[in-house]
Structure 1
Amino acid sequence: MTPHAIHDETHPAPIDPSGVDWARVRESEYLVHQRFQYEYPAQILDLQHQLMVIPPTVFGDQRRTVYSLRVSEAGEVTTTQDLLANTVIDVRIPSVERGIEFEAWVSLRRAGPPQPREVPVEWLTDARFLQPTDRTAPDAAIEEAAAILAAEGLVGLELAERINTWVHQTMKYVPDVTGIRTTAAHAFAAGHGVCQDYSHLMIAICRLLGLPALYVSGHLLGEGGTHSWVEVILPSPGDEDAAHAWALDPTHGRRVDLTYLTVAVGREYGDVAPTSGSYRAGHGGTLTGFKEVRLVGIEYD
């Protein structure tokens, strides 16, 4: 299916999310449109690019119904799944003259009310979600903050939500002062950052306190850029052989609801960067992006 068929023929006009009674929603439908455009001052060679912009077919109550991807230059495009079932698209092109554009369209549905996502019980002890990474490694200041939170005596979901609230109240949202390589320790010392930094800080504290946690990359209705939040993995009440992932947003200090759309999960941002890659050339390039998330369908109970 072509991108314009998804956009113009399949879906009606967008619905204003502010007018939706979300507590009564049984099912919601969304259309995501993204475009990444790279421009170069001269030819580049051996482009190897990776995109993580297409959500999995199924993710909890979220279902991908159809998607399309357009690459402006001819080359090899392969789609695979990684170990966490994320959709990974690899693009290899021998040479690009002056620029390349990637354009993705995705249609998604979610079922309400939102519930925690069932995950393998082995994830409760999985070192991938309990050990620090480059961006989530704690320093002495983060360890001290974690100890203060632990002293409050909360456990499980109450502890996870306390950490979520604490990060939201402690950090100040300031764009353009941190970058994709900023660590949780650096952002915490500065006291400000963006959603990626909030998520990394929360993950660092969760893991210090024995709560396995994942970084989530996705979209939030009403925001221009991609968004991130955290999934905390907890035992299922009354069932020692089951586990669920609770999605929490430290940037906004709340649980994730039907206005959130998940694209990929990982240990940290580096696992799920929407666009990344390499090429051979003696010069750099510039990236411009566009994203639109539309709410296009609502069914109430």
Structure 2
Amino acid sequence: MTSMHHLMTSAASQIALIDHHEVAWSEVRETRYWMHQRFEYHYPGAIRDLRQRLVVIPPERYGDQRLCAYDLKISAPDAVTSAITDTFGNRVFTVAIPELAGDLAFEMRLVVERDVSAVVWPRVTDGDAARYLAPTPLTVADARIVDAARHLARRHAGAEELADAISTWVYGAMRYGYGATTVSTPAAEALAVGKGLCQDYAHIMLAICRAAGIPARYVSGHMLGEGGSHAWVEALVTTAGGYRAVAFDPTNHRRITPAYITVATGRDYSDVSPTSGSYRAPYQGQFSASKRAGLTHLAYR
């Protein structure tokens, strides 16, 4: 197995990755997932009072997922960085830079392991589940969403079965494509357009789940083969002592596999946006991102 020191210090291009296309995911027992990600902002001139929020590093533990190591580098030498755990349990970094004369880069590296030999569902208390039942501005249900929720609820009794049917319905109602929506597009509008990206699929599923009485939350993370971040949904299903989180990916019409890594959860995209912020200047910056990620270890049952 590749050493942790090598994974965390070697050039990203030198990390040997396993071809995930050949993996029989149903037979996987454990994985080690490595990722290098870079966000760059180019400004045409000086900026002042920059405040950046980053939600890019997972919590120490999440279900069967364990964070082994991480590193966050910021190109500005005078950047002041702090980290908190937000109300959803996410690791949130805030960066303050008083003045910046040129470009800015955030570089993240992490190693995560998943042990799926025993099923470990993320757990949610009754009190926490209640906030995932209420609609948000991005998940307000219109008449079509309410009708879909009622129709599917009549045909599927159990919460997990119903959530699975909702995921299938969303997959069939949408076409994947760029340019039709933004991260601020509400679920009802995206559904009316019939085209969007993973956050739209997730918002529509959230809206239908909540309209059908199923608490559900937005998940931000990564899926092997995706160039950027990915989004999916966790339906909260009642169990002894609270709820267990069952994950569905309506964009790809499936439940998640060990090819997925969870970074953060919230009510919708606005709670878990990987990068957001503000600064003072009479012009806008240009944003670009790059990522290299994959498996460095794999074991079968």
TM-score by length of 1: 0.93
What corresponds to 2:282 in structure 1?
282
CA contact (8 A) 2:7 2:34 kept: no
2:229 to 226, 248, 263: 226
Q: CA deviation at 1:66?
A: 0.3
CA contact (8 A) 2:129 2:236 kept: no
How does 1:239-278 map onto structure 2 within 5 Å?
A: 239=240, 241-278=241-278
What corresponds to 2:90 in structure 1?
86
Tell me the amino acid that sits aligned with residue 269 of structure 1.
Y
1:132 to 130, 135, 144: 135
Tell me the amino acid that sits aligned with residue 51 of structure 2.
Q
Percent identical residues: 43
Q: CA deviation at 1:176?
A: 2.5
How does 1:148-187 map onto structure 2 within 5 Å?
A: 148-187=151-190
3-state SS of 2:152 partner? helix
Tell me whether 1:72 sits opposite 2:59 in the alignment: no
Tell me the amino acid that sits aligned with residue 89 of structure 2.
A
What corresponds to 1:216 in structure 2?
219
Tell me whether 1:110 sits opposite 2:114 in the alignment: yes
Unaligned runs of 5+ in 2: none
Take 1:129 and 1:80, find their aligned partners in 2: how far apart are those partners? Answer: 22
3-state SS of 1:85 partner? coil
Q: CA deviation at 1:292?
A: 1.6
Q: Which range is displaced more, 266-275 or 127-136?
A: 127-136
Q: Which range is displaced more, 73-82 or 265-274?
A: 73-82
Q: CA deviation at 1:52?
A: 0.4
Q: CA deviation at 1:230?
A: 0.2
CA contact (8 A) 1:232 1:246 kept: yes
CA contact (8 A) 1:136 1:268 kept: yes
What corresponds to 2:61 in structure 1?
58
Tell me whether 1:6 sits opposite 2:11 in the alignment: no
Take 1:248 and 1:116, find their aligned partners in 2: how far apart are those partners? Answer: 16
Tell me whether 1:36 sits opposite 2:43 in the alignment: no
CA contact (8 A) 1:116 1:247 kept: no
CA contact (8 A) 1:116 1:245 kept: no
Number of residue pairs aligned between Structure 1 and Structure 2: 296
Cα distance per residue 1:182-236 (max 9 Å; x no partner): 1101100001101000000000000011100000000000111110000000112
Q: CA deviation at 1:157?
A: 0.7
Tell me the amino acid that sits aligned with residue 129 of structure 1.
Y
Q: CA deviation at 1:25?
A: 1.8
Give the direction of change, closer, same or farther, for the CA distance of 1:118–1:218 in structure 2 (3 Å limit): closer
RMSD (Å), alpha carbons = 2.0
CA contact (8 A) 2:203 2:218 kept: yes
Tell me the amino acid that sits aligned with residue 107 of structure 2.
E
Give the direction of change, closer, same or farther, for the CA distance of 1:3–1:95 in structure 2 (3 Å limit): farther
2:124 to 81, 95, 120: 120
Give the direction of change, closer, same or farther, for the CA distance of 1:114–1:197 in structure 2 (3 Å limit): farther
Tell me the amino acid that sits aligned with residue 187 of structure 1.
A
CA contact (8 A) 1:114 1:258 kept: no
Q: CA deviation at 1:23?
A: 2.4
Unaligned runs of 5+ in 1: none
How does 1:192-203 map onto structure 2 within 5 Å?
A: 192-203=195-206
3-state SS of 1:231 partner? strand
Tell me the amino acid that sits aligned with residue 52 of structure 1.
V
TM-score by length of 2: 0.93
CA contact (8 A) 2:170 2:201 kept: yes
Take 1:23 and 1:112, find their aligned partners in 2: how far apart are those partners? Answer: 10
Tell me the amino acid that sits aligned with residue 123 of structure 2.
V
Q: CA deviation at 1:5?
A: 5.8
Tell me the amino acid that sits aligned with residue 93 of structure 2.
I
CA contact (8 A) 1:54 1:106 kept: yes
In the TM superposition, structure 1's runs of 4+ consecutive aligned residues that sit over 4 Å from their partners are 2-5, 9-12
3-state SS of 1:167 partner? helix
